[in-house]
Amino acid sequence: MAILKAIVSGETDPVVLSELAEGRARDKIPEMQKSLQGRISEHQQKMLKHQLGHIESLTALIVDLDADIKKK
């Protein structure tokens, strides 16, 4: 998620982006840097921003519903 959020914020440097990797993904940084090379258009960046926002709102909804379930 950190990498996607950085891309939405305008970061394009594969080295910088790969440094945001967590857990086992850190073992594959060279491969990740290759895969992060490329271009993202403004439209793609905007769509990704909306998709991440949707994921965050759905996550918040799940947390809220889980809390309701645990009360019962």
Compute φ and ψ for 32, nearest 5 degrees: -65, -40
Query: Contact 35/18 with Cβ under 8 angstroms?
Result: no
pLDDT tens digits, one per residue of 20-67: 999 888 889 999 999 999 899 999 999 999 999 999 999 999 999 999
pLDDT tens digits, one per residue of 31-44: 999 999 989 999 99
| pLDDT of residue 72 exceeding 90 | no
| pLDDT of residue 70 exceeding 90 | yes
Per the listing, tokens 């992060």 go with 36
Q: What is the mean pLDDT of the chain?
A: 94
Query: Contact 33/18 with Cβ under 8 angstroms?
Result: yes
pTM over 0.85: no
